[in-house]
Amino acid sequence: MSYFTELAHQYIDGEWKSGSGSWDIIDFNPYDGEKLASVTVATVDEVDQAYRAAERAQRDWAATNPYTRRLVFERALRIIQDREQEITEAIIAELGGTRLKAAFELHLAQEFLREAIQLALRPEGRILPSPVDGKENRVYRLPVGVVGVISPFNFPFLLSIKSVAPALALGNAVVLKPHQNTPVVGGGLVAKVFEEAGLPAGVLNVVITDIAEIGDALIEHPVPKVISFTGSDKVGRHVASVCAANFKHAVLELGGNSALIVLDDADLDYAVDAAVFSRFVHQGQVCMAANRVLVDRRVEREFTEKFVAKVRTLKVGDPSDPATHIGPLINSSQAEAIATLVEQTVEAGATALVRGTTEGNLVAPSVLTGLAADAPVLSQEIFGPVALVVPFDGEDEAVRIANDTPYGLSGAVHTGDVERGVRLAQRIETGMIHINDSTVHDEPIVAFGGEKRSGLGRLNGESMVEAFTTQKWISIQHGRSGFPF
C-alpha cells in the first residue's frame, strides 16, 4: 500500500473522498523536502457531514455489546503488528522520526490499543442508598456521544490513537483532525486501521483541514460533547475558551518546560544518560522533554563535562539511518525559530558549551549554560534540540527554579536516596515526575496530564472513563412517595 497515495483523503461516513476547499495542504518529507501528498482541505460543510455521520452511527455503536466492540480493537492491534515495518517507514518519511523514535511510538500505540480492549468492559454503574424509604438510586456510566479529537505532529499516530481508541471503546463516535503536517500518519492511517478492523462506517471520521479554512467550526459544532486537544498552550487556551462558551468539556494535553534535577548524591553517569535522552529524543519535539537540566553546584562540573561529551556523540542526519539520533525538525519555521532562539540567548550572555549548526531542517544539538535568572528561555517551552544547564545550591533553590515556569507537565529527580527524591518531587508543581529516570514517560493505565498551562484533565486508565463518559442518575420509587401538597 502506498500510504501517501491512498490515505491522503478525507474519510467521512466510511468513504474516502477529496475535500472541496479552494486550496491544498502539501505534505512534505521534512528531511529531503520530497512532496509526499497533496490534500484538498475539508470545508465547514464537510466538518458538518463528518459530525452528522458520527452522530447517526454512534447510537448503534453504543448499543453494540462491549464484548463485540472490543473485537475491533483486537483486530486493529493485529493490523498494526502485521504492518509495523510499513508504518515505521511512514513515520520516518512524514515527520522525520528516527527509527528509534518510530519504534517507541509504535510500541506505545499498541499498548494503548491493548488498554482499549480492556476499556470496552470498564464502565460500571452504581446503586446508591437514599434517605427516602423505598427509593433506589441507580447511577449509569454512558458514552458522551461524539468526541472531537485534534492531534499534534510530533507523535501523530500514537496521540491520535491515544484519544480515539478509548473514546470508541467506551461507545462514542469520533471526528479526528490530524495536524496539517502529518495528515496521513495522524489521520488517514488511523482511519484505515480501524476500517480494516471492522469499525462500522461513520463511527470514526477524519477531516484534514486548517483553521484558515474552517475557523472554529470543529470545536463550535453542536454535535461533539467533548474536545480532546493535544498541542501548544496558546492554541489550547483558545480551544478551552471556545469549548466553555459552547458548554463542551475540553481535555487539554499541552506544552511543558520540564526540569530534570540532579542532586549531589546522584549516579552522574546514569543521570547524564537520562538527561540526554530526556532532552534530545525526537529532536526535542516532545512536550515532556527536559528543557532544563538543573544540577547541584557540588557536582556541576563533573556532570556538565560528561553531559557535553555525550551530546557531542549524537549523530545528526537522515532519520532512515538506524545510527541517526537527531533527525529533522518538522518544518523550516521550527528550524529557523530554534536557530534564532539559540542566537538570541547567546547574545544575551549565555555560554554555548555546544553550538549546533542548522542545515535545512536539521538542527544539531546545543547546550547552553550561564543564563541569567530572568532569561526568557528558562520559562518557555523549547520544541527543539537545545538543553539548558542550570546550577543550584541546595534543594530549596532547585524547587524554586523548577517551579519558575508557567508550565507543569513532567520532570525527573536523580538521587542516591529514593525517598529524598520523592520528598523533593512532591514539591514540584507538575502533573508527573519520575525518580531516577527520564522525563519522557507514558503508560496506558497511569493518569497523564499537567498542571498550570500544561493542560486540563487527565488521560489514560480510569481517567479515560472520566473524560469520555458521563453519569446519569435514574431513581426508582418503590411504593408511593408522600408530597407536601
Beta-ladder partners of 296 = 392
Q: Looking up cell 529532536, which residue turns up?
A: 283
**How many Cβ atoms from other residues are within 10 Å of residue 343's Cβ?**
14
Q: Is 287 a catalytic residue?
A: yes
- Grid cell listed for 248: 463542551
**How far from chain centre, in Å, is Cα 89?**
21
Q: Of 105, 195, 243, 287, which is the active-site residue?
A: 287
CA distances to 152, 239, 328, 426 from 235, rounded to whole Å, are: 11, 6, 24, 29
H or E stretch at 2: none
With beta carbons less than 8 A apart as the criterion, state whether 24 and 35 touch: no
CA distances to 74, 205, 206, 214, 223 from 46, rounded to whole Å, are: 30, 11, 10, 10, 14
With beta carbons less than 8 A apart as the criterion, state whether 207 and 175 touch: yes
Q: What are phi and psi of 265, to 5 degrees?
A: -105, 15
Under DSSP, the state recorded for 65 is: -
Contacts of 256 (CB under 8 A, 6+ apart): 287, 288, 289, 291, 381, 407, 408, 409, 410, 450, 454
Q: Reading across the β-sheet that carries 126-128, which strands appear in turn?
A: 126-128, 135-143, 469-477
Q: What whole-number distance in Å separates Cα of residue 281 and Cα of residue 283?
A: 5
Q: What whole-number distance in Å separates Cα of residue 291 and Cα of residue 430?
A: 14
Under DSSP, the state recorded for 458 is: -
414 SS3 class: strand
Q: What whole-number distance in Å separates Cα of residue 353 and Cα of residue 347?
A: 14
Q: Is 243 a catalytic residue?
A: no
Under DSSP, the state recorded for 131 is: S
442 SS3 class: coil
Q: What are phi and psi of 143, to 5 degrees?
A: -60, 150
Beta-ladder partners of 295 = 262, 391
Contacts of 199 (CB under 8 A, 6+ apart): 72, 168
Q: What are phi and psi of 270, to 5 degrees?
A: -70, -40
Q: What whole-number distance in Å separates Cα of residue 362 and Cα of residue 112?
A: 31
H or E stretch at 8: none
Q: Of 105, 253, 300, 381, which is the active-site residue?
A: 253
Which residues carry out catalysis? 253, 287
